Amino acid sequence: MTYKILSDTETQIKYVSYTLNGVEYKISPVSDNGVLRHLTEEEAKEKATKEAEWNNTASSRKLAEIKQIRLQKLQETDWWVLRGTMTDAQKDFRQNLRDIPANHTNENAYDLLLARNDAGELTHSIWSKP
């Protein structure tokens, strides 16, 4: 673990660098009643530890978001099932949604599934209804 106070040469803003398990975390100053100050070593360690934990759980957070979107898409198309007749394309669409966790198992796949265009719409083809 290393703790350093560094200065950005462009902005002259001091920030804290804290290395935890070989990863360097640059931590911006905090405001105490409108006065900027850099974190103490103990505060920097706590913040770096929290950021490391957050980064380490990114995959599970992404998967939870994917599962929520999948549930929404399945609920939107439940009426297809209740109506009694579905086309093969509709059956395949719903089956592909149910198979997402098994067929997309790494963080890169999660990023592709969660990709959005400028309008905020999901871009992966698996989300497109037939």
pLDDT digits (tens, 9 = 90+) for 68-112: 999 999 999 999 999 988 999 999 999 999 999 888 888 789 999
Question: How many angstroms separate the Cα of 122 from the Cα of each of 1, 2, 78?
Answer: 40, 41, 20
> Residues 78, 118: one domain?
yes
Does 20 lie in the same domain as 79? no
Cα Rg of the chain, angstroms:
23
Residues 39 and 94 in one domain: no
Are 29 and 76 found together in one domain?
A: no
Q: Distance between CA atoms of 29 and 43, rounded to whole angstroms?
A: 11
- What CA–CA distances, in Å, run from 51 to 7, 59, 100? 21, 14, 28
CA 100, distance to chain mean position in Å, is 17
Whole-prediction pTM: 0.69
